Every structure is written in C-alpha cells, then in structure tokens.
Structure 1
Amino acid sequence: MSFSLLEIDKTHHIYSGHFSLFPEELAAHGLSGRKGGVSKAPWASLDLGLHVGDDPEAVAENRRRYLAALGLDAARFVTPEQVHGEHIARVGEAEAGRGALVYKDSIPETDALITNVPKLPLLLCFADCTPILFLDPVHRAVGIAHGGWKGTVRRIGQKTVARMHEEFGTKPEELLTAIGPSIGPCCYEIGPEVEAKFREAFPHHEAELFTNAEGKTHLSLWAANRIQLLDAGVLPEHIDEAKTCTSCHHEDFFSYRADGGRTGRMAAVIALRR
C-alpha cells in the first residue's frame, strides 16, 4: 500500500493524491492538490470550495479541470453542505449534480456520502480535516466521510461502514478504506476540552492518540480514524494511509491553520467506473 501525489494534468500542472489500495479498474479517486487552478490569492489556485469567499466562476473552472483530469464529469458530481456532524446520505441518480455549481443546492447538513451508482462522483472538501474514502469491491459501492475532530470523535468513519452494510450489504472485512492528507499530530495542538472528548471516545488508546510537545498536547486524527475503522471490522491490510500533514505541506495542500484561516479547499473524490 502506498500514497503518492501524481501530476494528472500536464497542461495545467494539476496534482492529485492516489492510493495504490484502490483498484483503478473499479473506481476513480483522487485528493486534489492546491496547484493548477485559476483562483487568486488567498485561494490560489485550485480552490474547489464554493463556501469560502472565492469567485464562484473560478471555483467552477477549477472543478471542471480537476474532475476532467480524473476522467469524470464535473456536471454530475454530488457534494454536501459539511457541518462537522455525523449525518450520512445515500445518493443516487436523482442527486447527480447537487452542489456542483451552486452551493445552496448541496446535500444539506451532511458529512458523508455513499452510493452504488456507477459514474456518479462523490466530492467532499477539506483544509486540514481528514478525508476517509471507502470502496466495496464486492457489492460495488463507494463513500467519503469528513473526519474533522468533531466528526472523528463521533466516529463518523465507523458509522459510514455500518451504513454501507445496511444499504449495500457491505462486509467490513471486504471493505477497502483510505485516510487522506490532513493535519498531522506534528501540528495539531489541542486544548483540554478536545482532549477529554477523545479520551472518553477512545478509551485505552491514549498512547496512539496523544503526544506532548513543549507542554502542549497534540492529537493524531490519523490514529483516531484508523482505530474506529478497525473497531468497525475493517482489516488492517485494508486501511491505506497518506500520513501526509497538510499544515507541513501547505505548499501542496490547502491548510486552514498554516494559511491563517483564509484559504481554499482541496477535495476528495471517488466514483465507481462501472
């Protein structure tokens, strides 16, 4: 298993993260970098978020470029209004294009999407929060979850596994998953309130979750999401991890913290090919 950042559009120099665990013949997927778009500072340049103050026409062009580079139709993708919650929506042909061009048309108050419809791309936006991708190669279904600290502590990844089992018959031991680039334990300093919530949600995992640097507590969202996928029954060899910090590498990815709170959004995308 491996994660790599590949140039997928040499004309515009667009880079995209790729997990070797996901079979290319079954699903297209990607995690966008920040280069190769048309947005101006502070959203420069491949901003894919319609909700951060960027020019909507620039975002639309960026979305067209990125989806086309993945071989997908930007007019068909589905995206939600992410609210750091735990609601999971199953989407289908009727939702094709929801949120693609108009933010208010996004799936409301939702932080994970799942589908078994071929050629229906799912897209969620991130800037330090953790993308979690899902592929059921047996029942042919895919999903993405938004693992910010609130979603992670509410175990949205684990709940997405359960919802895919409910909707599609997905067996956790057959599910392929990936934890994308996000703020790493190197940079993610937290306060006592957040620490207490994670200690309660993930008892007996303190050594994996927390590190101490100069008297400050740091949290690993990567570990917290891996733990809940394992608790859901996903096999260790079916969890790929980017282990790439968006704050450390904000020249390649948008980072809310490293960019001072005003920045663009990267996207995680997945779609069944057939």
Structure 2
Amino acid sequence: MESFKSVPTAKGPSLFLLPSWMDRNNRLTAGFTGRGGGVSEDAWASLNVGLHVGDADEDVVRNRRLITEAIGWPFEAWTCGEQVHGCEVFQVTESERGMGRESRASAIADTDGLMTNIPGVLLASFYADCVPLYFYDPENQAVALAHAGWKGTVQQIATRTIEAMQEQYGTKPEELLCAIGPSISDCCYEVDGFVIDKLQPLVEELARELTVDPELMMTLVENGKAMVNLKQINRHIMLKAGILPIHIELSQWCTGCSTDQFFSHRKEGGKTGRMASWIGIRER
C-alpha cells in the first residue's frame, strides 16, 4: 500500500500527503509535492520549488506560497537549507523560522538535514530523484527531514539525523517514526563503477549485520554497472540505527517512472524543476 497519498484537486498544487502520521496528530503536516499546479513555465513547468535551477525566482516563491496556502500554513513558516549532498543536521529554533523561503542567500547554509521541536516551523527540502527522509518523534513532538542522494546515503545522513534527535530531544529510536518518500527506484537508477565503489562497502555491511540479501539494495549488471535502490539502503540504515520495521513508511513512487507526476533530474537530462518534502507541527 502506498504511504504517500495523492490529493486530487481540480486546481492548485499537486500534493502527496502522509496520512498515517497526520491521523495520529491533527497538528502535524507531512508530505511531498508533485510537479503540477504551479506557475513556472518551460522546463520547470509547473510547480518547481527550487531557486537554484534557472527558473524565475518570483515563480518559485509563488509556487512555495501556493503550497503553504494549500496545507493551511503561513508562508512565513517555510524554512529550508542550502543542500550540498552532505550529512550535516541543523537544529532549527524560533530564530531560524522562515530562513530560505524567498532566497537562497537566506537559507540555512551547508545542511542536508533539518530538525525542530518548535511548533509553527515548517521544514522543507528539495528533490528531483534523491530520497526524502522524514522523522517524527510523537513522544517529544520533534520532527526532521533529511535529503539523501547517493552521497548523503553513503554518509548515512539517516543515522546522523536520528543521533541528533536523540541528543537534542531525548528521542528513543524504538519510538521514532520514519518515512521514505517518492524518489528514483532501482528500475531507473543505474550507476557506474565510481558510485558502486562508494556504495558497495555500506551495502555489504548492512547486508551482513541485518542478515539480508545485498541485492535488495544493489544489483550488479553487465558492463560494470549496477542498479541501486537508495530507498532500501536508507531503510536498512534506519533499521541498523534501531528503528522498528513497523515504524518505517516506504513510498513505492518512482520519480524516474512517473515524470507525468514528478520532476526527474536523470530522466529529463538535468534541466528540470524540484519537488519539496515538508513537515511541521502547527501551534496550538
């Protein structure tokens, strides 16, 4: 069963919500955007939310406003970082609320993970094939997002995020809820020897420690290539960190297979828009 449910609307932004979490807490919002229902044109049509891909800034900001309006949040709450395919996790406090919403210059620098326990802060991060990771601690009412491309996956940003939440909020891994959102799947993600060499030690370690078939995560094919399932690698990283299997939601959406619904950097030759993941707990 698909964890991220498409919200059908005649007009407005294309949204995919995470109802299993939102049903637990009516103050929580969590989801992922599609590519439709925005104002961007040309290669970025139409709900591009990335300020770094050549689109008109005013269109990107309008798209971000459309999303916050659709989910019933003030635009001033939208808070994001300048992603660098690293593994840094930043704790967002009240003073950082709204950073990055209208310009890259104001975004939280050099971070691919964001976490907060401040109600009224809406965390957001950006994707066009990479893996969106979501974290919700219902006991301590803390949330986090992490952006995991292959580089962030190798650096185990999921583990870094879980550890940061433990340190700052007292999060217990066995109580933490995690979700893996729409992203490119192994059917569409072929990599060469350089990436294989970076991923293979991690895949082998996870397979050995969790007693699973490594081909769930990466399958070698002809010509020295491999088909990689970043979703499954990140799921196994979460399991190794102590997350319970029943507490991990895994989207089946493949951005590479579904370019009618999502932007795909790989399938569209690098010139395309970006989707957003978001999570936040509204004020009482």
- Map of 1:142-221 to 2, 5 A cutoff? 142-204=143-205, 205=207, 206-213=214-221, 215=223, 216-221=225-230
**Structure-1 separation of matches of 2:273 and 2:95:** 29
Deviation at 1:196, TM superposition (A): 1.8
Q: What amino acid maps onto 1:98 in structure 2?
A: M
Shift of 1:10: 3.6
Q: Give me the whole-angstrom Cα distance separating, in 2, the residues matched to 1:10 and 1:99.
A: 29
CA distance in 2, matches of 1:201, 1:209: 10
- CA contact 1:49–1:266 (8 Å) conserved in 2: yes
Whole-Å Cα distance in 1 between the matches of residues 113 and 179 of structure 2? 14
Q: Secondary structure at the match of 1:250?
A: coil
Q: Deviations over 1:41-92 (max 9, x none)?
A: 1000000011111001101110000111111112221100000001100001
Report Cα offsets for 1:132-188 as digits up to 9, x if no partner: 001101100000000000000110011101100100000011111100011100010
Q: Given that residues 4 and 18 in structure 1 are in contact (C-alpha distance below 8 angstroms), is that contact kept between their aligned partners in structure 2? A: yes
Q: What is the RMSD of the two structures over their aligned residues, measured on CA atoms?
A: 1.4
- Aligned position for 2:76: 75
Which 5+ residue runs of structure 1 have no aligned equivalent? none
Change in 2 beyond 3 A, CA 1:90/1:8: farther
Number of the residue aligned with 1:98: 99
1:144 is aligned with what amino acid?
Answer: L
Q: Secondary structure at the match of 2:75?
A: coil
Contact 2:5–2:19 (8 Å) recurs in 1:
no
Paired residues of 1:131 and 1:182 also in contact (CA < 8 A): yes
Summarize deviations over 1:77-123 as a string: whole Å, max 9, x none. 11000000011000011011100001111000000000000110000
The 1-side partners of 2:114 and 2:60 are apart by 21
The 5 A counterparts of 1:68-147 are: 68-147=69-148
1:19 lines up with 2:28 in the alignment: no
Moved more, 121-130 or 208-217: 208-217
Alpha-carbon contact 1:3-1:17 (below 8 Å) kept: no
The letter for the 2-side match of 1:273 is R
Q: TM-score, normalised by structure 2?
A: 0.92
Checking the alignment, whether the CA contact within 8 Å between 1:119 and 1:273 is kept in structure 2 is yes
Give the match's secondary structure for 2:159.
helix
Paired residue for 2:272, among 241, 260, 263?
Answer: 263
Partner SS for 1:202: helix
- 2:252 corresponds to which residue? 243
Alignment of 1:49-60 (within 5 A): 49-60=50-61
More helix by share: 2
- What is the SS of the residue equivalent to 1:78? strand
Point out where structure 2 has 5 or more consecutive residues left out of the alignment.
Answer: 208-213
Q: Aligned partners of 1:164 and 1:2: how far apart in 2?
A: 27
Question: What CA distance in whole angstroms lies between the structure 2 residues aligned with 1:126 and 1:43?
Answer: 13
Taking the aligned partners of 1:199 and 1:42, their CA distance within structure 2 comes to: 34
Q: In the alignment, what sits opposite 1:229?
A: 238
Contact 1:9 1:69 in 2 (8 A): no
Q: Could you tell me how far 1:233 is from its partner in structure 2?
A: 0.6
Return the alpha-carbon distance in structure 1 between the equivalents of residues 8 and 84 of structure 2.
Answer: 30
Inter-partner Cα distance in structure 2 for 1:73 and 1:22: 21
Aligned length: 273
Residues 2 and 252 in structure 2, CA contact (< 8 A), matched pair in contact too: no
Alpha-carbon shift at residue 27 of structure 1 (Å):
1.0
TM-score using structure 1 length: 0.95
Output the CA distance in 2 between the equivalents of 1:68 and 1:159: 32
How much does 1:200 deviate? 1.2
Residue 17 of structure 2 aligns to a residue whose secondary structure is strand
What letter matches 2:130 in structure 1? C
